[in-house]
Amino acid sequence: MNIEIERKFLVTSTAYKQLSIEKIEIIQGYLSKIPERTVRIRIADKNAWLTLKGKSDSQGLARREWEYKIPLSEAHELLALCEKPLIRKTRYKIPYNNLMIEVDEFQEPRQTVWAEVELPSMDTPFDPPEWLGKEVTGDPNYYNAQL
């Protein structure tokens, strides 16, 4: 079983763009968005994945996650079955203190920007850079499935 441990933050400036080492265009959709089990299809550039996630813990910090690479052609077919609207976003990857911050600029279904950082353990310290603002970990308004 895989556990995803993730913190989310609002973004207060575009400083991350200059620090980014990678920029990825993403389209994703959900076959299931119920909190007990979300099932997502994602195309990131020319790669595709099927991701299953369990319900978040009481803090919204950790949940079970399984991710499988799938053929791009199948991902396109599965996206057609997903709930609408699909999510379109640009992801920037920023290395920071031996971790990777991912900033997502959402274009659809609404324009917004927030950042996530995956931690290797629940007790991993994380001191956010100055361009990250309010922490929104656990706030369901900032789950991709709620867009």
What structural domains and CATH numbers belong to the chain? Answer: 3-146 (2.40.320.10)
Provide DSSP, 64-78. EEEEEEE-HHHHHHH
Q: What is the pLDDT of residue 68?
A: 97
Spatial separation of the C-alpha atoms in residues 140 and 20, rounded to whole Å: 27
Q: pLDDT (tens digit, 9 = 90+) per residue, 15-67?
A: 999 999 999 999 999 999 998 999 999 999 999 999 999 998 888 889 999 99
Residues in the chain, overall count? 147
Residues belonging to the active site: 30
